[in-house]
Amino acid sequence: MDWVGTIVQGLLLGGFYALYGIGLSLIFGVMRLVNLAHGDLIVCAAYLSLVLIEVSGLPPLLTLAIVIPVMFGLGVLLQRGVLNRVLGLGPMPPLLITFGISIIIQNGLLLAFTADTQRLPAGSLETASVPVGGWATVGVLPLLNMAIAILAIIGLQQFMGRTDLGRAFRATSDDPTTAELMGIDSKRIYGLAMGASLALIAVAGILLGMRTTFGPSDGPARLIYAFEAVIIGGLGSLWGTLAGGLLLGVAQSVGAALNPGWFQLAGHILALLVLAIRPTGLFARTRDL
Amino acid sequence: MSMLVVDSIEVFYGEFQALFGVSLEVAEGETVAIIGANGAGKTTLLRTIAGVLRPRSGQVQYRGMRIDGRPAYAVTRLGIAMVPEGRKIFPSLSVRENLLIGRQSGRKGPWTLERVFDLFPVLRERADFPGIDLSGGQQQMLAIGRALMSNPDLILMDEISLGLAPVVVRELYETVQAITRTGTTVVIVEQDVTRSLQVADRVYCLLEGEVSLSGRPTDLSREQISLAYFGV
């Protein structure tokens, strides 16, 4: 068995999970909201790209230019129109609402696109790969995704650390009541955070859609991968989430290499082990907890 | 005309009524102290002015504008800054970043990072430390500096002496006087009566959610204040 290849594939797969996880963790970090529709929104972005491709004939990568702003806008609307109304009423209302949105998206997609699995036609990009050091070849798409995940983390860190708006995000995350006393409109911050989260997962949704198939009911599995990336990496640490995503990908990939049926199982076992042994995650910044 | 008018407000926490028809006026440039025992409603009054709480009836007016019912961030942007009880330093932000958050009010004015550092040199020395690693007194300076960074016309200060050593409190109050000398209007809530009477032009005493006494400190006798404060 080619272990190096298996691990490299796992790492690249993990790059997608990392991007899912970063989106999830951004939302949780800023407003302590668990978005149960996260996975379905990822799938939604892929379908949006599919429609654009069919209508306009654009190549999938170019649809990003439209899907990213649309998902950002959808996030802002979702937050400001719906979720902001129930923040501060305890954890249950947002959970129920996002659970409801998840069901609506799944059934809406089923109605519009049937249960058939789809794939974004990426032409030669689908299989394009580059040799690495003469001992492995890696796909261009997952490499691109990984690069985007790393750039997203660096970008988010610079944004959070160096801009007034980024500091407002952190202050709101620390203490929304006091942040409001400083002139920060926390509802606006929450809207922007949800927009940014959906913009990030739009990228992952489309890139993964170019690489593997997707269907209307794939959302919950992606939500779980996003959760597991965050759990393994630890809350409050973006690099931790990246590492968590990569470890999850490797676990799945190694599991699948041992036995094709162990793909998901291996990932879940890793997440459960981390929860049991180090519940704060491997790279948590304890200060935030 | 008064800068701030609080007109017979009633404030509730659920079914519990905390303020019973409280009225108060603050003129531009004045320093007003609100004193009273624990639970008298001082913090509730400040938080209502700041827009954190909404009165069930009555009004809050600032420069002739009705501001009750506006969200806290909008009140801050009008030029009312708060130094909250317990300081409420943002734990994940450095000292410098905590101060920079004050700029979120979007107001221009004389207060800059440099000027706040000149007022509190110790904050400059520790600018890159996490805000919550400072001592209690330094955190209080940070909270005051953060409020100044929003270039307010009116600052609400809630129990700035709480839990601090007398020498630190004296230092803080010297700063408060320096701030009032710049023409900034200050409303200060205190349990430390002596200290607040020293800096205040006028004083309101709250007792069980009602104004029990108001006037100039020089016009009030110790007995009057004691009666208004304790109710006995």
Task: Choose between A5 and B74: higher pLDDT.
Answer: B74
Residue A289 confidence (pLDDT): 36
- Which span out of A119-123, A276-280, B29-33 was modeled with the highest average pLDDT? B29-33
In 3-state terms, what secondary structure has residue B92?
coil
Burial A50-68 (b: 16+ CB within 10 A, else e): bebbeeeeeebbebbeebb
How many folded domains does chain A comprise?
Answer: 1
Q: Which residue in the block uniquely carries the two structure tokens 């050091």?
A: A133
Task: Tell me whether residue A55 is in a domain.
Answer: yes
Cβ separation of B104 and A184 shorter than 8 Å?
yes
**For position A156, which CATH number holds?**
1.10.3470
Q: Are strands B4-13 and B16-26 parallel, antiparallel or unpaired?
A: antiparallel
Residue A287 confidence (pLDDT): 45
- Give me the amino acid identity at A54: E
Closest residue in B to A236 (Cα) is B92
Task: Tell me whether residue A30 is in a domain.
Answer: yes
CA–CA distance, B35 with B116 (Å, rounded to integer)? 28
Task: Give chain B positions within 8 Å (CB) of A185.
Answer: 71, 73-74
Mean pLDDT, chain B, integer: 94
pLDDT band for position A140 (cuts 50, 70, 90)? confident
Window from A118-127, A221-230, B25-34, B195-204 with minimum mean pLDDT:
A118-127
Print the domain residue range for A177.
Answer: 3-122+146-288
CB-based contact A210:A103 (threshold 8 Å): no
Fold of B32-40+79-230: Rossmann fold (3.40.50)
Residue B192 confidence (pLDDT): 85
> Shortest CB distance from B93 goes to which of A170, A177, A288?
A170
pLDDT at A101 > cutoff 50: yes
Which DSSP string do the residues of B45-57 spell out, in sequence order?
HHHHHTTSS--SE
> Shortest CB distance from B91 goes to which of A174, A184, A186?
A174
Give the number of other CB atoms < 10 A from CB of residue B47: 21
pLDDT at A284 > cutoff 80: no
CA B185, B189, B193: angle at the middle one, nearest 5?
110
Which residues are registered as beta bridge partners of B65? B62
Q: For B31, phi and psi rounded to 5 degrees?
A: -115, 120
Sheet holding B65-66, edge to edge: B16-26, B4-13, B57-62, B65-66
Q: What does each C-alpha distance from A233 to A24, A243, A246 come to in angstroms? A: 13, 6, 9
- What six digits make up the tokens of B49? 């002015």
Cβ separation of A178 and B90 shorter than 8 Å?
yes
Task: Tell me whether residue A133 is in a domain.
Answer: no
pLDDT digits (tens, 9 = 90+) for A16-59: 999 999 999 899 889 889 999 999 999 999 999 999 999 998 99
Residue B212 confidence (pLDDT): 93
User: Which A residues, 182 through 201, put their C-beta within 8 Å of a C-beta on chain B?
Assistant: 182-186
Task: Tell me whether residue A151 is in a domain.
Answer: yes
Q: Half-sphere exposure of A147 toward its Cβ, with a 13 Å CA cutoff?
A: 7
Residue A285 confidence (pLDDT): 64
Task: Give chain A positions within 8 Å (CB) of B102.
Answer: 182
CB-based contact B171:B119 (threshold 8 Å): no
Cβ separation of A184 and B103 shorter than 8 Å?
no
Q: Where are the domains of chain B?
A: 32-40+79-230
- What six digits make up the tokens of A122? 């990426």
Task: Tell me whether residue A138 is in a domain.
Answer: no
Q: For B185, phi and psi rounded to 5 degrees?
A: -80, 135
CB-based contact A183:B76 (threshold 8 Å): yes
pLDDT at B153 > cutoff 60: yes
Residue from A251, A220, A192 nearest A11 by CA: A251
User: Which B residues, 115 through 134, put their C-beta within 8 Å of a C-beta on chain A?
Assistant: 130
Task: Give chain B positions within 8 Å (CB) of A287.
Answer: 91-92, 130
Task: Tell me whether residue A129 is in a domain.
Answer: no
Helix (H) or strand (E) segment spanning residue B142: helix B136-148
Three-state SS for chain A is: CCHHHHHHHHHHHHHHHHHHHHHHHHHHHHHCCCCCCHHHHHHHHHHHHHHHHHHHCCCHHHHHHHHHHHHHHHHHHHHHHCHHHCCCCCCHHHHHHHHHHHHHHHHHHHHHHCCCCECCCCHHHHCCEEEECCCEEEEHHHHHHHHHHHHHHHHHHHHHHHCHHHHHHHHHHHCHHHHHHCCCCHHHHHHHHHHHHHHHHHHHHHHHHHHCCECCCCHHHHHHHHHHHHHHHCCCCHHHHHHHHHHHHHHHHHHHHHCHHHHHHHHHHHHHHHHHHCCCCCCCCHHHC
pLDDT digits (tens, 9 = 90+) for B132-145: 999 999 999 999 99
pLDDT band for position A129 (cuts 50, 70, 90)? confident
The alpha carbon of A233 is separated from its chain's Cα centroid by a whole number of angstroms, namely: 14
**What's the DSSP call for residue B36?**
E
The share of chain A scoring above pLDDT 70, in percent, equals: 97
pLDDT digits (tens, 9 = 90+) for B57-103: 999 999 999 999 999 999 999 999 999 999 999 999 999 999 999 99
pLDDT at A286 > cutoff 70: no
- What six digits make up the tokens of A269? 């076992």
Closest residue in A to B156 (Cα) is A181
pLDDT band for position A288 (cuts 50, 70, 90)? very low
A–B CB contacts, 8 A cutoff, strictly below: 73
Q: What is the pTM (predicted TM-score) of this model?
A: 0.90
pLDDT at A244 > cutoff 80: yes
Residue A237 confidence (pLDDT): 82
CA distance B52 to chain A (A): 8
CB-based contact A199:A20 (threshold 8 Å): no
Please list the helix, strand and coil fractions of chain B in percent, rounded to the nearest 5, in that order: 40, 30, 35
A162 touches chain B (CB under 8 A): no
